């Protein structure tokens, strides 16, 4: 760690002591107070909710919280973007003839012409908070729009021609709407699926007593050890409905209710989502191919012939989860999304024809290399749902990396979970896959980019690799200690490896001694009543701080910056504290902390949830920016619409970026136009 005591500093200190002058701590704020930065740009079109093909199969409409993205087949790189009039975009539905599209926003339904995407009509609806928004969806049957209202557990039926409310229907059959003909609504709860098929003649007015209409519903029970992973229906006449179920042993079947069709039984890893080809021959499934942190970290799409049982793989990983699978009406294309990107294949030979990116949600990690911003998103708290690469000059996404896990970058190299990627070309390429590494909690490059460290097996193991080797040169093993490593960093000079275990202190290791030990360093637990391991080993140097939530190295002077849960920022020179400044008290330890230092060493910034009056609900997040040399609080960022969970500085020192997530840490709710990356101009830029 490059932190030598400077001669001038030593002379000044001796002079001050000799003259009996007391050195005061750094100033918390300037006399005029910190400046509040205003967001300049929002990167990312939010989280993808739905995929909609036009009837002619020539356009794919990607519905995400911040935009409707209209892609034309064969011109995938230039989508037309329509932003919501009322944040955020929740769902979309095409009219049965495909000439109009309805956009469901918070408190508003907008109807557009698909000929030129101009607005035809607006319908005012109820405005929901994020709790009530869960499950809200939209359908179109005949001339009527069906809006599921989770707060009333029912449907509002609107006349698309006049914008008038036609009727209200209580729902016995589900809150998810598939825009098929007839319209399919369904709900899944444990081993039960309930569903209903709606046609225009069923949309009757309430009777004289004002009783709501109950559409005919059907229930389909399954065994207690079976999980329903998807419901789908063909657009054929008559329509064909299927339900996918899988038991605890991995055996799955695709069931066609109310028929004598016998399902073919298969064995597969965990499955997610289901789609039927237009002719009903194939069912497309999301199949788990990567387990991370006891959950599925990645899926691929496979199509199963429902007659012969033959399975066709569609190559291309979807990290995180499968959000939607949709066949084009012509059957020529298949599209699938994980919420962060969209893959599109030709069904004739299962080859990929496009990979769509530029979306974002819950951006948990960010860092810059050159003029590029590398941003990793998290879905449902399970690893990353992939990494999006942004050009900070054009403010456009340029690539998507389908990897899972924490990230670090060095020049054109990206370390993501157990994979090493090259970002040198137009398309990221996989350099190396460390197959023996799993459940990755932390990764780091050394300053030269020739060594890397990975905390894996849920942080029980920390390995050091030469970048060209498949096997680690050194390893630390936490034996029977629930105090595992979740964050890694190298000192600026590469001399030390810094780790943060579960007790939230910083453990400092002599890297050279680790690399020469030969056998793995096994840390034992002498006292079974305490989590503290036996640290009486030569590679161990010291332990720093406590209640540490994040750490970063200042590229300017090599100092170590530490963010503590007690609301304090510490700065260390050569493992000795130089100064500390107050941030603010963290309201909840489950909210993540964001910390970053600018490339020139001028700024350090930290922040996160500032107010949480309702327990799991964060009503305001803040970031404080400090002069890294003095600790003076110079600027602030305040967000009440979303929550900042990661920070990064542009390498030219002009901008600071904040990755955001929904304000609530417990419920994935869609009615908020957030989840993108905000860009703020720094003072003096």
CA distances from 580 to 487, 498, 618 (A): 21, 19, 26
Residues 6+ apart with CB under 8 A from 274: 229, 230, 231, 232, 242, 243, 244, 254, 283, 284, 285, 325
Question: How many Å apart are CA 367 and CA 600, to the nearest integer?
Answer: 14
pLDDT surpassing 50 at residue 668: no
Band the pLDDT of 518: cuts 50, 70, 90: confident
Would you say residue 136 has pLDDT above 50?
Answer: yes
Alpha carbon of 556 to those of 371, 511, 559: distances in Å? 18, 22, 8
Rounded to the nearest 5 percent, the helix, strand and coil shares of the chain are 5, 50, 45
Buried b (16+ CB within 10 A) or exposed e, 255-277: beeeeeeebeebeeebbbbbbbb
Contact 521, 537 (CB under 8 A): yes
Strand, helix or coil at 212?
coil
Query: What are 488-498's pLDDT values in tens digits?
Result: 999 999 999 99
Res 562: pLDDT = 93
Average pLDDT, the chain: 83
* Helix residue spans in 401-523 (DSSP H): 511-515
More confident residue, 151 or 629: 629
Least confident of 245-254, 256-265, 649-658: 256-265
Q: What's the pLDDT at 296? A: 78
Q: What is the C-alpha to C-alpha distance for residues 202 and 204, in angstroms, rounded to an integer? A: 6
User: What is the secondary structure of 607-642 as a DSSP string?
Assistant: EEEEE-TBTTB--EEEEEEEETTT--EEEEEEESSS
Q: What is the mean pLDDT of residues 357-362?
A: 90
Residue 105 corresponds to which tokens in the numbers above? 């926003």
**Where does residue 433 fall: left (phi above 0), alpha (psi -120 to 50 degrees), or beta otherwise?**
beta
pLDDT tens digits, residue range 305-355?
988 889 999 999 999 889 899 999 999 999 999 999 999 999 999 999 999
Q: Are 289 and 298 in contact (CB under 8 A)?
A: yes
Q: Higher model confidence: residue 562 or residue 225? A: 562
Residues 439-464: pLDDT tens digits? 888 999 999 999 999 999 888 899 99
Strand partners, 388: 375, 400
Residue 105 has pLDDT above 50, yes or no: yes
146-150, 226-230, 410-414, 562-566: lowest mean pLDDT where? 146-150
Q: Where are the alpha helices (DSSP H) in 139-234?
A: none
State the pTM of this model: 0.89
Mean pLDDT of 11-24: 31
Secondary structure class of 371 (helix, strand, coil): coil
Q: What value does the CA radius of gyration of the chain take, rounded to a whole number of Å? A: 27
**Is the per-residue pLDDT at 59 higher than 90?**
yes
Cα(357)–Cα(374) distance, integer angstroms: 13
Inform me whether the pLDDT recorded for 266 exceeds 90.
no
């Amino acid at each position: 760690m490059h932190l030598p005591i400077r001669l001038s500093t030593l002379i000044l200190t001796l002079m001050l002591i000799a003259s009996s002058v007391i050195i005061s701590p750094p100033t918390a704020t300037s006399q005029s107070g910190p400046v509040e930065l205003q967001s300049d740009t929002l990167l990312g079109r939010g989280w993808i909710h739905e995929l909609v093909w036009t009837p002619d199969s020539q356009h794919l409409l990607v519905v995400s919280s911040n935009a409707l993205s209209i892609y034309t087949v064969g011109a995938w790189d230039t989508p037309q973007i329509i932003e919501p009039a009322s944040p955020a975009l929740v769902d979309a539905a095409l009219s049965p003839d495909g000439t109009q599209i309805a956009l469901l926003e918070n408190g508003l339904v907008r109807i557009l012409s698909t000929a030129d995407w101009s607005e035809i009509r607006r319908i005012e609806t109820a405005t929901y908070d994020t709790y009530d928004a869960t499950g809200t969806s939209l359908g179109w049957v005949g001339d009527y729009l069906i809006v599921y209202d989770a707060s009333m557990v029912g449907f509002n039926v609107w006349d698309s021609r006049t914008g008038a409310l036609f009727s209200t229907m209580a729902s016995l059959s589900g809150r998810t709407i598939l825009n098929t003909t007839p319209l399919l609504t369904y709900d899944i709860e444990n081993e039960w699926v309930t569903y209903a098929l709606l046609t225009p003649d069923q949309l009757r007015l309430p009777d004289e007593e004002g009783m709501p209409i109950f559409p005919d519903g059907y229930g389909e029970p399954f065994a207690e050890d079976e999980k329903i992973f998807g419901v789908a229906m063909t657009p054929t006449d008559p329509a064909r409905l299927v339900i996918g179920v899988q038991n605890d042993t991995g055996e799955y079947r695709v069931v066609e209710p109310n028929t004598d069709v016998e399902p073919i039984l298969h064995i597969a890893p965990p499955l997610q989502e289901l789609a039927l080809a237009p002719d009903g021959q194939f069912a497309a499934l999301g199949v788990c191919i990567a387990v991370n942190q006891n959950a599925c970290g990645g899926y691929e799409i496979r199509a199963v012939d429902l007659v012969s049982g033959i399975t066709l793989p569609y190559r291309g990983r979807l990290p995180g989860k499968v959000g939607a699978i949709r066949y084009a009406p012509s059957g020529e294309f298949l599209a699938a999304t994980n919420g962060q990107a969209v893959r599109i294949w030709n069904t004739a030979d299962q080859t990929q024809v496009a990979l769509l990116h530029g979306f974002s949600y819950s951006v948990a990690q960010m860092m810059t290399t050159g003029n590029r911003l590398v941003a990793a998103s998290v879905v449902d708290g399970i690893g990353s749902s992939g990494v999006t690469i942004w050009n900070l000059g054009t403010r456009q996404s340029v690539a998507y990396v389908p990897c899972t896990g924490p990230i670090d970058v060095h020049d054109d190299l990206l370390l993501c979970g157990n994979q090493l990627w090259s970002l040198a070309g137009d398309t990221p390429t996989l350099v190396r896959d460390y197959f023996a590494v799993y459940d990755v909690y932390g990764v780091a490059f050394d300053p030269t980019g020739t060594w890397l460290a990975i905390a894996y097996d849920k942080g029980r193991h920390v390995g050091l690799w030469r970048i060209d080797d498949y096997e680690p040169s050194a390893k630390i093993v936490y034996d029977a200690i629930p105090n595992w490593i979740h964050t890694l960093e190298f000192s600026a000079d590469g001399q030390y490896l810094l780790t943060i275990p579960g007790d939230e202190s910083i453990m400092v290791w002599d890297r050279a001694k680790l690399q020469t030990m030969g056998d793995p360093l096994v840390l034992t637990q002498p006292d079974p009543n305490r989590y503290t391991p036996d640290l009486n080993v030569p590679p161990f140097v010291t332990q720093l701080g406590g209640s540490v939530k994040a750490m970063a190295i200042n590229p300017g002077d090599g100092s170590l910056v530490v963010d503590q849960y007690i609301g304090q920022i510490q700065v260390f020179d050569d493992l000795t504290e130089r100064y500390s400044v107050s941030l603010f008290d963290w309201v909840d330890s489950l909210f993540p902390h964001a910390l970053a230092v600018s490339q020139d060493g001028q700024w350090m910034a930290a922040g996160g949830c500032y107010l949480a009056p309702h327990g799991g609900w964060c009503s305001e997040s803040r970031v404080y920016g400090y002069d890294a040399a003095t600790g003076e609080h110079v600027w602030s960022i305040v967000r009440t619409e979303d929550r900042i969970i990661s920070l990064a500085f542009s390498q030219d020192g002009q901008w600071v970026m904040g990755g955001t997530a929904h304000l609530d840490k417990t419920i994935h709710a869609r009615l908020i136009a957030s989840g993108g990356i905000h860009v703020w101009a720094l003072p003096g830029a």
